[in-house]
Chains A and B, each alone.
Chain A
Amino acid sequence: MFSRLFGQFLLQEGFVTPSALSSALGRLGEVRPLIGMLALAQGYMSPDQVVEINEMQKRVDRRFGELAIEKGYLSVDQLESIISAQKSEHVLLGQILVQDGILSHDGFLLVLEKYRKNAGLSEEGYEAVKANDVEGVVSSILVGQPGAGKAVVRSWATVFMRSVIRFIDPGAAIDPLAEEKYKNLRGFIQRMKGDLRVSVFIAAEDEVFVDLAQRFTDFDIDSFDEMASAAVGEFLNLANGLFTVNCSDEGTELDMLPQEYVESIASLPIGRPDALLPLLLPKGILWAGFCPGLSR
Chain B
Amino acid sequence: MEKKYTALLCDDSAVVRKMLRHILNESPVGTVFEAIDGNQAVEMYRLHRPDIVFMDIVMPGKTGIQALSEIRAHDPSARVIMASSTGTSKNLKAAIDSGAVDFIQKPFEREAVLKLIRRILEGEWE
Contact = CB atoms under 8 A, between A and B. Distances in A.
Interface stretch (A177-185, A224-232, A274-282): A224-232
A170 interface: no
A241 B59 contact: no
Residue among B15, B96, B100, B109 facing the most chain A CB atoms (10 A cut-off): B15
B89 A5 contact: yes
Interface in B1-42: 12-16, 18-19
B116 A237 contact: no
Interface string B23-67: 000000000000000000000000000000000001110000000
Contacts of B16: 230, 234
Q: Is the interface of B mostly helix, strand, loop or mixed?
A: mixed
Contacts of A213: 15
B96 A227 contact: no
Interface residues of B, number: 33
A227 B125 contact: no
B15 A25 contact: no
A5 B84 contact: no
Nearest to B103: A8
Contact of A11 (B13, B88, B103, B107): B103
B116 A238 contact: no
A50 to B, nearest CB: 24
A258 B15 contact: no
A8 B86 CA distance: 12
A26 B58 contact: no
Contacts of B112: 12
Contacts of B93: 22, 25-26
Contact of B96 (A21, A226, A241): A21
Residue among B14, B104, B112 facing the most chain A CB atoms (10 A cut-off): B14
A120 B109 contact: yes
A248 interface: yes
Contacts of A28: 89
Given A5-B92, A18-B96, A26-B93, A256 B105 contact: no
A240 interface: yes
A244 B86 contact: yes
Given A11-B102, A217-B19, A248-B90, 16 more contacts: A8-B104, A8-B105, A12-B116, A19-B96, A26-B93, A28-B89, A93-B89, A120-B105, A227-B14, A227-B15, A227-B18, A240-B85, A242-B85, A245-B87, A247-B88, A256-B86
21 contacts: A5-B87, A12-B104, A21-B96, A25-B89, A28-B89, A213-B15, A217-B18, A230-B13, A230-B15, A237-B85, A237-B106, A240-B86, A242-B85, A245-B87, A247-B88, A248-B88, A253-B88, A255-B86, A256-B58, A256-B85, A258-B59
Interface of B: 12-16, 18-19, 58-60, 84-90, 92-93, 96-97, 100-107, 109, 112, 116, 125
